[in-house]
């Protein structure tokens, strides 16, 4: 049975997965880029964006595992782009440049429908207006037996957590304090429940906590 997996979700010591005041100039919020410094030091992420070198230790192993066995991705609208209202045009094709790093179908949760966007390298963005379960059903079908990866942002992950649809959740806890922004465990009525820690390992840059749905 295909799984819905969250990987490399960076959170601060005080629980924030994005900084405040997200927008076109600060897509991760003010200070939010600090959450991802560990990832961009790895060989996996550097290769993803056409760069050489990078660390090959613990952080790189977790970074690489996020792509293993994945056949489709789901993301929220903010992870695709900063536009919240109706589309003024369809010129915006995402934060990810002409060749996004997915190379498979990506399903974007939105309120205002737009046409699918085919990009170089095999990524096609499909836009879903009828909710998280419809997006998951379409992604599972597109993944053709592989797992589905759930991207951000925080509100999207919270929706799937509340619905009990996430099978695995990997948090990269980084040693910074943001103080405000989007906090993962807010609005979850008791936090992240129904999961058990199956892996816990750290480097100087991040502590990796992998949670899986509890069998109990």
pLDDT tens digits, one per residue of 30-53 = 899 999 999 999 999 999 888 899
For residues 112 and 38, the answer to whether their CB atoms sit within 8 Å is: no
CA 148 to chain centre: 11
- CA neighbor of 86 nearest in space, from 124, 59, 112, 116: 112
What gap in Å lies between CA 88 and CA 210, rounded to an integer?
40
Buried-state track 52-61, b at ≥16 Cβ within 10 A, e below 16: eebbeebbbe
What gap in Å lies between CA 86 and CA 112, rounded to an integer?
6
pTM of the model: 0.93
For residues 47 and 63, the answer to whether their CB atoms sit within 8 Å is: no
What lies within 8 Å, CB to CB, of 35 at 6+ separation is: 10, 11, 12, 16, 17, 18, 19, 28, 174, 176, 178
pLDDT tens digits, one per residue of 134-166 = 999 999 999 999 999 999 889 999 999 999 999
Q: Which two tokens stand for residue 84?
A: 């919240």
Q: What is the mean pLDDT of the chain?
A: 92
- DSSP annotation of 25: S
For residues 102 and 143, the answer to whether their CB atoms sit within 8 Å is: no
* 4-17+31-83+100-213 homologous superfamily: Dihydrofolate Reductase, subunit A (3.40.430.10)
The pLDDT > 70 percentage for the chain reads: 96
For residues 5 and 148, the answer to whether their CB atoms sit within 8 Å is: yes
More confident residue, 160 or 27: 160
For residues 35 and 111, the answer to whether their CB atoms sit within 8 Å is: no
What gap in Å lies between CA 5 and CA 170, rounded to an integer?
8
What gap in Å lies between CA 8 and CA 152, rounded to an integer?
10
- Structural domain boundaries of the chain? 4-17+31-83+100-213
The pLDDT > 90 percentage for the chain reads: 73
What gap in Å lies between CA 130 and CA 110, rounded to an integer?
8
């Amino acid at each position: 049975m295909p799984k819905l997996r969250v990987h490399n979700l960076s959170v601060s010591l005080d629980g924030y997965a994005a900084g405040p005041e997200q927008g076109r100039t600060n897509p991760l919020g003010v200070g939010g880029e600090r959450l991802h410094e560990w990832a961009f030091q790895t060989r996996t992420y550097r290769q993803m964006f056409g760069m050489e070198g990078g660390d090959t230790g613990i952080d790189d192993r977790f970074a690489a595992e996020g792509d293993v066995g994945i056949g489709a991705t789901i993301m929220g609208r903010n992870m695709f782009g900063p536009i919240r209202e109706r589309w003024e045009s369809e010129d915006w094709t995402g934060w990810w440049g002409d060749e996004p790093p997915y190379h498979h179908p990506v399903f974007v949760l939105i309120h205002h429908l737009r046409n699918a966007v085919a990009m170089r390298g095999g990524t096609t963005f499909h836009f879903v207006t009828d909710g998280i379960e419809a997006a998951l059903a379409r992604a599972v079908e597109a993944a053709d037996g592989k797992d589905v990866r759930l991207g951000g942002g925080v509100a999207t992950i919270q929706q799937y957590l509340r619905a009990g649809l996430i099978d695995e959740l990997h948090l990269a806890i980084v040693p910074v304090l943001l103080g405000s922004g989007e906090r993962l465990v807010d609005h979850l009525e008791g936090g992240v429940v129904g999961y058990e820690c199956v892996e816990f390992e750290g480097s100087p840059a991040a502590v990796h906590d992998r949670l899986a749905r509890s069998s109990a």
